[in-house]
């Protein structure tokens, strides 16, 4: 595409009216000197294919996909990258030649933010709390870094068992609950939506040592319950805003061929969110 190209981008999901993606991508575009139009499009489950056709006819060349459409996005693609295939879900679609190509940038976004926060993965013990689509998206990238151990804990154990079975031939995932006797973890990743209801998932103090880091995929008010829980126990917690920006940067690079710097946008976004009453 030429320097004067206007990239027609979007995020599809429901709900997306409060999505930060348009602001993030417009900020990337401004920093890179690119012309980007990015809109949020409400799309209920079962309607993604039709809405993508309409979007493409209007000149759309790339989009992000969020809940509840990440699995549906795979069915709309003519090609699926390994990151999306391993996750069983896509959060990024790019039009190439004659069809949509599916990618998943969640895992790369998480790992990039963990590295920014000096959180080691290789040879460290990791626990993921949750077993939904978000976990499926981040597992491949975490496994790639060969942790010393990687366990799942979920209120619905059957969902955790299914994820363990899916990865059985590639990595030995463990499934535990709050009563399981295990050594403490170096990193605990909170991947449930309970924070949006002011709640914390069932966690055990026995999972912690003094240098354990709690990483929450949530950010803003939804992170506050876990942050408070961690503060009470004297351990560090990190919210998922950095992951949001990093996965968006990876998607933006797919859309435009230009990789933006994430730190300035993260700083701007943190200041914007902190200024809200």
Tokens of 19: 């999505």
Range in 134-138, 251-255, 265-269 the model is least confident about: 134-138
Under a CB-based contact definition with an 8 Å cutoff, are residues 235 and 208 in contact?
A: yes
The predicted-structure confidence for 187-204, as pLDDT tens digits, reads as follows 999 999 999 999 999 999
- The catalytic position among 57, 70, 115, 159 is 70
What are the tens digits of pLDDT across the range 119-172? 999 999 999 999 988 898 999 999 999 999 999 999 999 999 999 998 988 899
Q: Examine the residue annotation and report whether 70 is marked as an active-site residue of this protein.
A: yes
% of the chain surpassing 90 pLDDT: 85
pLDDT band at 4 (very low <50, low <70, confident <90, very high): low
Determine contact, residues 229/9, Cβ cutoff 8 Å: no
Rama region for 130: left / alpha / beta (φ>0; ψ in -120 to 50; rest): left
Task: Give the neighbor-by-neighbor strand order of the sheet with 77-80.
Answer: 35-42, 6-13, 62-65, 92-96, 99-103, 77-80
Residue 37, pLDDT above cutoff 60: yes
- Domains present along the chain, CATH in parentheses: 6-104+244-274 (3.40.50.10860), 108-239 (3.40.50.720)
pLDDT in tens, 169-186: 889 999 998 888 899 999
Token pair recorded at residue 127:
């626990």
Question: How much is the mean pLDDT over the chain?
Answer: 94
Is the distance from CB of 213 to CB of 186 less than 8 angstroms?
Answer: yes
Give the pLDDT score at 160.
94
Classify the phi-psi angles of 141: left when phi > 0, otherwise alpha if psi is within -120 to 50, otherwise beta.
Answer: alpha
């Amino acid at each position: 595409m030429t320097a004067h190209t206007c990239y027609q981008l979007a995020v599809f999901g429901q709900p997306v009216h409060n999505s930060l993606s348009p602001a993030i991508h417009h900020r990337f575009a401004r920093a890179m000197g690119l012309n980007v139009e990015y809109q949020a499009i409400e799309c209920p489950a079962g309607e993604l294919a039709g809405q993508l056709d309409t979007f493409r006819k209007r000149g759309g060349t790339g989009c992000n996909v969020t809940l509840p459409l990440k699995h549906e996005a795979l069915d709309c693609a003519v090609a699926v990258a390994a990151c999306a295939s391993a996750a069983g879900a896509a959060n990024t679609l790019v039009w190439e030649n004659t069809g949509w190509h599916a990618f998943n940038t969640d895992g790369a976004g998480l790992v990039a933010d963990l590295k920014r926060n000096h959180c080691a993965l290789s040879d460290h013990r990791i626990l993921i709390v949750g077993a939904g689509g978000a976990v499926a998206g981040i597992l491949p990238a975490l496994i790639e870094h060969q942790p010393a151990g990687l366990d799942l804990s979920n209120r619905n154990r059957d969902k955790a068992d299914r994820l363990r079975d899916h990865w059985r031939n590639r990595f030995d995932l463990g499934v535990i609950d709050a009563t399981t006797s295990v050594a403490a973890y170096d990193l605990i990743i909170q991947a449930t939506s309970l924070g949006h209801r002011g709640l914390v998932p069932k966690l055990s103090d026995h999972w912690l040592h003094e240098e354990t880091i709690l990483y929450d995929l949530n950010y803003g008010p939804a992170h506050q319950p876990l942050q408070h829980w961690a503060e009470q126990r004297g351990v560090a917690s990190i919210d998922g805003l950095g992951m949001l920006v990093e996965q968006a940067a990876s998607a933006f690079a797919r859309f435009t061929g230009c990789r933006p710097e994430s730190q300035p946008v993260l700083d701007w976004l943190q200041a914007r969110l902190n200024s809200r009453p």
